[in-house]
Structure 1
Amino acid sequence: METSAATDPELSAAGMHAGRSPRWQRIARNIILGMIVVVFAVWLVLFITKGRFLRHSFETATSSLSQRKIHVAGDFQLYFAPFRLKFVADGLSISNPGWAKDRALFSARHLDARVAPLSLIFGQRHIYSLVLDGGKGDFEWDAQHVRNTWTFASDGQGKPFAMPNIGTASITDTHVHYSDPAMPLMADLAIAPITASNTHIGHSVGITGSGSFRTTPFRLSARLLSPNATLAGTTNRLEARAWAANSVIDVSGTLPGLTDIEGVPLDVAADGRDMSELLKVIDVAIPQTRHYKLKAKLVKRGDTYRFTEMTGTFGQSDLAGQFSITNGKRLKLDAALVTKRLDIIDAAPFIGYNPDVVATKGAVAAAAASGAGSQRVLPDASLPVAMLQRFDASLDWKIGIVRSRNVPVSDISLALSLDRGRLALSPLTFSMARGDVSSDLVFDTRERPSAIHYDIRLASTPMGRLLAGYGVADSGTTGTIHGRIKLDGRGDTIHDSLASASGRIAFVMPHGTLWTQNAQLAELDLGTFVSKMFQGKLKKPIEVNCGLIAFTVRNGKAAADPILIDTSKNVVTGRGGFSFDTEAVDMAFRADGKKFSLFSGQSPVGLGGHFAQPKLQVISPQLLGRAGAGIGLAVVATPVAGLLAFVDPGDAKSAACGPVLAGARANAQRTSKGKPRDDVGHGQTDKVVD
């Protein structure tokens, strides 16, 4: 008898098993369902309670993970609404690490944020909405610029600040403090109220504040012109203006991140009273300038800030080129500059004059303003020794024309190097009146007081053109002059270095011609001068066979060694000297005719006074004595006999031009017959120049 499948127990069990899932699947399903129930229960509990009961757990857990004290003084909420994490905290405070000066990294009167949960673990943090009131942030670097307060890193290495993505925002009464002792930089900033909706917050976000960079205070005003992009974490269009060191600095550009300027070209412009005041902020010393306006492109790469495409003006002069500042172990400034036209007043600071004082009151007043005594022209402004030893520099500066009423100067080429306090202007070359000047100047502040070396060389230069600004016409004058000034002194001012200097000054005049008028006035040969005036021959040139104007300098006192000019008609000699210390001048020039001349004074012309106010004594005591003798002869004899006192017998001894053209000292000078000269002194002043 056949049995049915329905009554077969084995078949029945197999069928039951066939209709059920495997046991492991049932377990997994139950676990998943349980987890969903638990998550839902947790969500429901958090949603109902708003997670307020988690405040102490939140403080404990986050404080342990961050190694900072995190505290919520007022209302606290932490829950999902429905899938975004909502965080509300009143009186929130996050402490700074122990090394920081301020106690709190961040505090807020009220904070309400909805955050994408997974962004806290992966990728850039994303905040859907943010309400912040009474926020205060303190962002500090340590003294070595290694750690900062906003980086929660176990390795202690500070990271750049990363701006989260923010969808909508409302920010009021919020302030930020930033400090970096390594620079040092300190800033206190206030953020203008922000109201954003759907990533749109209007046209700009304002930031104002103040602070100090190194020891210089500043004010700051900035605007984010593309704040919507900023909130989205993309590009940031920024415009900022700062006021510091009597200057206004403008910076604008598009940043890839809110605090990221690495490799980003920025437009910068500066407008101020004195460029040296601005660069002094970063311990860079340059000569004082008049009002300046400059603009350039700035790119930061590592420790180097490079300014290119620079154009602008300082005073009445133009300036272009590029320069870079490297903030390494030692601050380094490198520059390549070009000036088409340099006003002579703007060049005054290069020797220690205040250009504004020169422009309004003259060189004497400028010297007095530098610390010099009354009626002195050598500046007494001290070299910035300490600053020159804090940074290094190299400069290549080309200058086209110097605007000057008296001496035409052009084609200046300056190579400057500064190495740990040793400043060298070598070479410094320029053209002056169709002649070339080359020089090497060294200011070594590593020695105390500074060791200063002057070596200035004048190539052959037309005298007519050189002295044209002083009333000597070029026409009729073919004479030239060349020479050298080589001095070594000690001191931290131009005046002190020259007042202690020793060396030699020599200017040589080879064969050429000068106006008759010039030579006759020096000789006071009134007879020849008057006769030529009536004959209309004042511009007839006379020949200069050779000439030498030289001084030996010892401890700041210069003595004629020699002054000797031999012309076709007379021999001019000079004695005396001057002092770089007191700037007093005590010299006498005498011209003896080679031919008989009536009415020749044949007496020294004195030059006294000081550099600032030299005095020409045309009527010398010797001349007055001869006049008295002439009057006496006229009284006791005849009027014609009185003229004998003014007769030049024409016995001047011609000079041997070899020693003259060689720039030899007085004791090496000879007459044309080879005999030693006894009329050019011995290279010493007759008395101390006071």
Structure 2
Amino acid sequence: MIRMERGRRLRWIGWLLVGLAILASACLIALAAFPVGLFKDRIARHIGARFATNVSIGSIGRREVFSFTPTILIRDLAIRQPRWAGTGNMVQAQSVEVRISILSLMTGGGARPDDAVVRGLSLALVRDASGRANWERPKDGHGSDAQGTGLGRLLVPDGRLSLKDARRALSLSGTFASDGKGLRIDTAGRFHNAPASLAIRGASISGQRPDATYPIALKLQSPLLHLDASGQTRGPLNLRSMSLDIRATSPNLKYLDDVIEAGLFGTQPIDLHAKIRHAGRDWFVEHMTGRIGRSPLVAKADILKRDERTKIDADVHFSAFDFDDLSDAQGKARARAIEARIGPRVLPGTRINLAKVGPTDGVIRFRADRLLLTDSMFQSLAGTIRLTGKLLELDDIHANMSSGRMNGTVRIDQRGGATKPYFAMDLLFTDGRLEKLIGTQGATGALRGRVKLSGTGDTIREALGRADGHAGLVVRDGQVKRTLAAVLGQDLGKAIGTALRNKDAEIPLRCLAIDFAAKGGILTPSPFLVDTPISSGTGQGTMSLATERIALTIRGRSRDPSGLRLVDPIRMGGSFSAPTLSAAGDPHGSKVGAGSIIKAVGKSIGGALGLTKKRDMDDDATPMAVDCGSMERRILAARPPRS
């Protein structure tokens, strides 16, 4: 009995399994022959959701009567432009034949076409100035490195293509074809209102795997930019995952940046060759050579897009470097106009306003083996630029000079909505030589100094013209011509005697300590001291960083004075670019020559004879002894002077 009951159960289970198999087969047969026209509205909604716009389809059918991957025929397809992109259609086609997976469509995986034939195709691609593009998913500005079209075959015999890219200032239109001969795109239009043409060539898209390497070449030609690129993408037409070898020439680096969007700046003409890689929204410059203006370079860089910000990590090496190469023609013209208005200036007029700097962060390590500067002591330069939004820091500065080295930092800060940037520099000079600085062997010695200034302004010149801080130098244990030391002590008798006996005789220069206190761009000696075995001197007056004018007097005293003394102090005048000396009470800025020397002798003899007013040297504030070690520590520490 039990056996009979168990047998009936097994038979029922068997019949049930057979029934389920028959039902599954019937369902599969139904799916394989399913009338896909019923999915027309669903397919239209799916495409419309992809581009956030309306889609219309004239009709939809299938070629094969029975297939799980049928060829779907869509007629009169029109994908409207998103509202922000204007009127008209973004995509229009007379017919589209695509092979899709029915199972994927039924289970919500999408149509996933892997084979397409498109006739009467018209593409109208649009991107606005903010970077929003009609071919990207809404709220998907990051993009991806997905496998391009995902198509194994693409046939487009007669396509038309237009591109209006406000962000790149690029507008093009032309033909698009993909067949057994390969991919061909030929367009013409405008780039920054200059004529431009763009040609793209690729292999035939027929039978490739979605992730197969796909060779591609691009040529953009315009008076503003010649760009040749060749390489491969990961999957046909996958421009978000590609490796290219490029050559770019342009009158300005910013035109190349319009195409690659790396956040670069205006420069002198460029000629660059690079191997680059693009992944998603990120660019990787794996190796670059060429030149900007007169400056040859080798560089590499990672340029990443993260959280709507550009992040740069780069190394740049110039074998020779001209600072002017980092300014375009407009910037140099502005600089020339300013110089014509205010005259020659020593302090640079480099613009430092960061108001227009976009959401960019970065670290750029740079090195220039040789600086192409005229009449400059600076020979090489290296450092690290760190940019965090509107804060720029130049750290680890190392500069070799014709005499000595310079190290330090520079900081430009325009955060918090400031209308003008705050500029701060702290530079230490070591291993210098006094004779190199003054251009004569009359006084020699090892020189050290420090400049610590800060102010606000749109340019370095403007910021220093309002700066506070200190700038000083010190020389210890040097040598000075005995004649100059006598003149410093305003002892005309000793100066004449030394000149007659041995004009080349030298004595120790025990100390030269100059510490300028800066307030509102005005430099005031605090103090200006010179100490030798036979004389000492001190300087007074001002120097203006805003106007670059000099107004200093140097008074001295002799340790063992003779009867014949210089009545008037030595005066320094003129400008930073053209300094002058005057003596014997001549007008400020007059040159020291034979006439002024004769006049100085006459006034001194007159003072000795009581014929002219003689300055009381005993009341002179010039110190007879200088603590040079203390002065050196204060100057190099850039500390405020003691009150």
After superposition, residues 496-645 of structure 1 pair within 5 angstroms as 496-515=462-481, 538-594=503-559, 601=566, 603-618=568-583, 620-621=585-586
Match among 77, 81, 91 for residue 106 of structure 1? 91
Give me the whole-angstrom Cα distance separating, in 1, the residues matched to 2:603 and 2:71: 121
**Alpha-carbon distance change, 632 to 575 in structure 1, aligned in 2, over 3 angstroms:** closer
Contact map agreement 1:107 1:136 (CA 8 A) in 2: yes
2:185 paired residue number: 206
Match among 106, 109, 119 for residue 132 of structure 1? 119
Match among 432, 440, 453 for residue 472 of structure 1? 440
**Alpha-carbon distance change, 568 to 145 in structure 1, aligned in 2, over 3 angstroms:** closer
> 1:483: Cα distance to partner?
1.7
Match among 438, 442, 448 for residue 407 of structure 2? 438
Q: Is the counterpart of residue 396 in structure 1 residue 365 in structure 2?
A: yes
**Alpha-carbon distance change, 429 to 176 in structure 1, aligned in 2, over 3 angstroms:** same
Contact map agreement 2:353 2:459 (CA 8 A) in 1: no
TM-score, normalised to structure 1's length?
0.66
Give me the whole-angstrom Cα distance separating, in 2, the residues matched to 1:195 and 1:355: 42
2:381 paired residue number: 412
Answer with 454-463 or 406-415: which moved more: 406-415
Match among 178, 181, 200 for residue 223 of structure 1? 200
Q: Is the counterpart of residue 164 in structure 1 residue 151 in structure 2?
A: yes
1:43 paired residue number: none
Give me the whole-angstrom Cα distance separating, in 2, the residues matched to 1:255 and 1:187: 23
SS in 1 for 2:529: strand
2:323 paired residue number: 347
Residues 91-131 of structure 1 show CA distances to partners (whole Å, capped at 9, x for unaligned) of: 653446778644424224x5586x66879979974658x57
1:453 paired residue number: 424
% identity of equivalent residues:
19
After superposition, residues 70-469 of structure 1 pair within 5 angstroms as 70-72=56-58, 93-95=78-80, 101-108=86-93, 111=95, 125=113, 130=117, 132-133=119-120, 135-138=121-124, 161-162=148-149, 164-166=151-153, 169=155, 171-172=157-158, 174-177=160-163, 189-192=172-175, 194=177, 196=179, 200-201=180-181, 205-209=184-188, 219=196, 221-227=198-204, 234-242=212-220, 246-262=224-240, 264-275=242-253, 279=257, 289-343=267-321, 346-347=322-323, 366=335, 368-369=337-338, 373-380=342-349, 382-388=351-357, 390-404=359-373, 406-410=375-379, 412-446=381-415, 448=418, 449-464=420-435, 466-467=436-437
Contact map agreement 2:248 2:256 (CA 8 A) in 1: no
Whichever of the two has the greater Rg, that structure is: 1
SS in 2 for 1:496: helix
**Alpha-carbon distance change, 643 to 498 in structure 1, aligned in 2, over 3 angstroms:** same
TM-score, normalised to structure 2's length?
0.71
Answer with 434-443 or 158-167: which moved more: 158-167
Give me the whole-angstrom Cα distance separating, in 1, the residues matched to 2:149 and 2:295: 44
Match among 478, 483, 498 for residue 449 of structure 2? 483
Contact map agreement 2:529 2:536 (CA 8 A) in 1: yes
Query: Which amino acid in 1 is paired with 2:119?
Result: L
Answer with 450-459 or 218-227: which moved more: 218-227
> 1:298: Cα distance to partner?
1.8
**Alpha-carbon distance change, 645 to 556 in structure 1, aligned in 2, over 3 angstroms:** same
Contact map agreement 1:221 1:240 (CA 8 A) in 2: yes
**Alpha-carbon distance change, 282 to 387 in structure 1, aligned in 2, over 3 angstroms:** farther
Give me the whole-angstrom Cα distance separating, in 1, the residues matched to 2:232 and 2:358: 37
Query: Which amino acid in 2 is paired with 1:93?
Result: A
> 1:441: Cα distance to partner?
1.9
SS in 1 for 2:461: helix
**Alpha-carbon distance change, 286 to 530 in structure 1, aligned in 2, over 3 angstroms:** farther
SS in 2 for 1:385: coil
Contact map agreement 2:467 2:518 (CA 8 A) in 1: yes
1:46 paired residue number: none
> 1:576: Cα distance to partner?
0.8
Contact map agreement 2:200 2:219 (CA 8 A) in 1: no
Contact map agreement 2:115 2:152 (CA 8 A) in 1: yes
> 1:261: Cα distance to partner?
4.2
SS in 2 for 1:657: coil
Contact map agreement 2:573 2:580 (CA 8 A) in 1: yes
SS in 1 for 2:320: strand
Contact map agreement 2:564 2:604 (CA 8 A) in 1: no
Give me the whole-angstrom Cα distance separating, in 1, the residues matched to 2:604 and 2:580: 32
**Alpha-carbon distance change, 371 to 120 in structure 1, aligned in 2, over 3 angstroms:** farther
> 1:646: Cα distance to partner?
13
> 1:579: Cα distance to partner?
1.6
SS in 2 for 1:264: strand
Gaps of 5+ in 2: 1-17, 49-53, 106-110, 636-640
SS in 2 for 1:402: coil
> 1:497: Cα distance to partner?
2.2
Contact map agreement 2:488 2:536 (CA 8 A) in 1: no
Contact map agreement 2:529 2:539 (CA 8 A) in 1: yes
Residues 542-581 of structure 1 show CA distances to partners (whole Å, capped at 9, x for unaligned) of: 3201111121222221112222111234333321111222
Give me the whole-angstrom Cα distance separating, in 1, the residues matched to 2:264 and 2:478: 43
1:13 paired residue number: none
> 1:250: Cα distance to partner?
3.5
Give me the whole-angstrom Cα distance separating, in 1, the residues matched to 2:601 and 2:377: 46
SS in 2 for 1:342: coil
SS in 2 for 1:325: strand
Answer with 277-286 or 329-338: which moved more: 277-286
> 1:258: Cα distance to partner?
3.1
Query: Which amino acid in 2 is paired with 1:250?
Result: D
SS in 2 for 1:497: helix
**Alpha-carbon distance change, 563 to 243 in structure 1, aligned in 2, over 3 angstroms:** farther
Give me the whole-angstrom Cα distance separating, in 1, the residues matched to 2:264 and 2:74: 53
Give me the whole-angstrom Cα distance separating, in 1, the residues matched to 2:79 and 2:457: 57
> 1:436: Cα distance to partner?
2.7
Contact map agreement 1:552 1:561 (CA 8 A) in 2: yes
